[in-house]
Amino acid sequence: MPNLMQSPMPMAEAVSTPETIKVSHATTERVYRHRLLVRICHWLNVPCLVILIMSGLQIFNAHPALYWGDRSDRDHPLLSIRPMRTDGGELKGVTTVLGRQFDTTGVLGYSNDSARAFPAWATIPSAKWLAAGRQWHLFFAWVFVVNGVLFAAYGLYSRHFKNDLVPTRHDLTQIPQAVKDHLVLRHPKGDEARGYNVLQKLAYAGILFVVAPVIVLTGLTMSPTIDAAFPWLLTIFGGRQAARTIHFIACFSFVGFILIHVSQVMLTGFLNNIGSMITGWSTVRHEGVKP
């Protein structure tokens, strides 16, 4: 997307200037959208995030409750996911959020005849196995961080962040229209499809500049050694257990982002989108003007 280079192949029918000829045919244009390093970082993130989320849920299952502050007061969790026995004697899954209880049998707390917070299909490994979950998590956390640092350095150096991701003042005025367009699934075409729209920029910028740094820093705040080296981490996140809670919220922000991102990729021309993230080249369609 940066350096919107023209395709080396000349287009069959160029778009004419409106003053001379009002009528033009629909044309397609090949646009270089994603540079190599961006593509590599993007695809490295796919397995990393899936593994980090699923192994993270395995780790969460070892103590399926969240708290604020530094310590775990087990009588007052913000959230807990537990199996409970009903009066009839059978087990059900109960999720408690801020004191409110929900029956989540089958998914959370009790699923497939097993008392566990997140179900087997959502965790790595699928069986209850904290040590293995930690090994997966702490290995891919390194891959994710190294990948992220590389991407951040490149994003700054190449001005990818400044040119393509940070919304301009003009972008921000387009938010109401962009929201309307998204709600009716009206997607940008022609020149508008060359760059990211404002909601896209906000989503990417939010994930890159807020959620990703927060998830890494709260992960580090859970490390007792890092807390000794950088005690201010405990201060800014409100304590170790608060950091664990924020880590969990950031995780589900990623889950939400991934669901929306993938559905948008499918809705706006799946093959063109996937192809452009693999080769870098995207096809932009110009509608043309009918006589």
Partner 1 sequence: MKQQRTMARRGFLKGTVGAASLVALAGCDNLTQSAWFPGMLQKAQGLTEAAQRAITPANALAKEYNETDISKVFPANGNTDPGAQEYADMAQGNFAGWNVSIGGRVKTPMMYSLAAIKEMPARTQITRHDCVEGWSAIGMWTGVPLGDLLRAAEPLPTAKYAVFHCADVDDEGIAYYESMAVADCYHPQTIVAYELNGRPLDVPHGAPLRLRFERQLGYKQAKYIQRIELVESLEGIGMGRGGYWEDQGYEWYAGI
Q: Contact positions toward partner 1, by CB under 8 A?
A: 50-51, 54, 59-60, 62-63, 65, 70-74, 121, 124-127, 129-132, 134-136, 138-139, 141-142, 220, 222-229, 231, 234, 240-241, 244
Residue 87, judged by CB atoms within 10 A of its CB (0-12, 13-18, 19+), counts as exposed
Return the number of the residue (217 or 220) whose C-beta is nearest partner 1: 220
Is residue 153 within 8 A of residue 145, CB to CB? The reply is no
User: Least distance from C-beta 68 to partner 1, angstroms?
Assistant: 12
Determine how β-strand 65-66 pairs with β-strand 79-85. Answer: antiparallel
Return the number of the residue (127 or 179) whose C-beta is nearest partner 1: 127
Query: Which tokens sit at 137?
Result: 């998590």
Return the number of the residue (5 or 266) whose C-beta is nearest partner 1: 266
Cα–Cα distance, 75 to 216 (Å, whole number): 28
Count helices and strands in the chain by DSSP H and E runs: 11, 6
C-alpha of 45 from chain center:
10
Cα–Cα distance, 222 to 251 (Å, whole number): 15
User: Least distance from C-beta 112 to partner 1, angstroms?
Assistant: 13
User: Least distance from C-beta 49 to partner 1, angstroms?
Assistant: 13
User: Least distance from C-beta 84 to partner 1, angstroms?
Assistant: 19
Return the number of the residue (78 or 175) whose C-beta is nearest partner 1: 78
Return the number of the residue (33 or 137) whose C-beta is nearest partner 1: 137
User: Least distance from C-beta 261 to partner 1, angstroms?
Assistant: 15
Query: Which tokens sit at 247?
Result: 């880590």
| Residues whose CB falls within 8 Å of the CB of residue 254, separated by 6 or more in sequence, listed in order | 49, 53, 207, 211, 215
Return the number of the residue (110 or 144) whose C-beta is nearest partner 1: 144
Return the number of the residue (58 or 272) whose C-beta is nearest partner 1: 58
Cα–Cα distance, 228 to 38 (Å, whole number): 35
User: Least distance from C-beta 69 to partner 1, angstroms?
Assistant: 9
Q: Which residues of 89-121 are buried (b: 16+ CB within 10 A; e: fewer)?
A: eeebbbbbeeeeeeebbebbbbbeeeebbbbee
User: Least distance from C-beta 220 to partner 1, angstroms?
Assistant: 8
